[in-house]
Amino acid sequence: MTDIWIMRIGHRPQRDKRVTTHVALSSRALGAKGIYVDTEDRKLEENVKSVCERFGGDFEIRTGVKWKNVVKDFDGVVVHLTMYGQRLDEALPKLPSDGRMLVIVGAEKVPPEVYERSDHNISVGNQPHSEIAALSIFLYEVTQGDSLYADRDGKLTVIPNERGKTVVEISK
Ligand code: SAM
């Protein structure tokens, strides 16, 4: 099993608050261990931590961290998701099935150095779309969706229901 961490670069707190929140929550839902965000954003941290507190798990968020330092200190494989990268289906067999992986996603244009410093530049199709979509598809392919229904031992647990909402609340 691979420990997956996300590095979000180019986050602009005012403009990207919803998108980066969704990058973080999608990463968490799909089994990543945590996310680093390059720009400090306390509100974003609070929002993501509040979801973790209610729905459980030990997902981490750290904002205001420089991507170059994260990459330099990361002891694992670095993947950069970009529409210009190699095909996902061709890249997947080259990725480790255990160990640690850092997945970089951008907001707007990513500095050329990110392409050079990454071990793999991978595309999820060669059309421009979204960091949330690219990351979710990538994580689903890498993890085979293993975390989607994992029990996270939260205060709130959603029980799948074909018609309505079933939420079990446990006071902790
Ligand atoms: N020109 C950018 C690119 O290099 O992919 C598109 C910018 S897009 C608004 C923001 C981020 O979404 C990118 O930095 C990349 O991480 C991700 N992204 C968008 N389309 C993608 C694709 N087809 N494959 C992989 N990642 C993609």
Q: What is the pLDDT of residues 117-149, one digit of tens each?
A: 999 999 999 999 999 999 999 999 999 999 999
Residue nearest atom 10 of ligand 1, based on CA coordinates: 107
- Global pTM? 0.96
Residues 6+ apart with CB under 8 A from 48: 21, 24, 25, 28, 35, 59, 61
Among 129, 132, 136, 137, the mutation site with the greatest number of ligand 1 atoms within 8 A of its Cβ is 129
Tell me: the pLDDT tens digits for 24-44? 999 999 999 999 999 999 999
Residues with CB under 6 A from ligand 1: 81-84, 105-107, 110, 123-125, 127-131, 134
Confidence of residue 19 (pLDDT cuts 50, 70, 90): very high
Residue 1 is predicted with a pLDDT of 73
Confidence of residue 171 (pLDDT cuts 50, 70, 90): confident
When pLDDT is averaged across residues 64-75 and rounded to a whole number, the result is 98
Mean pLDDT, rounded, of the chain: 96
HSE on the CB side for 17, CA within 13 Å?
A: 9
Residues forming beta bridges with residue 103, ordered by sequence position: 6, 79
- The answer to whether residues 75 and 101 touch, using CB atoms and an 8 Å cutoff, is no
**CA atoms of 28 and 144, how far apart (whole Å):** 15
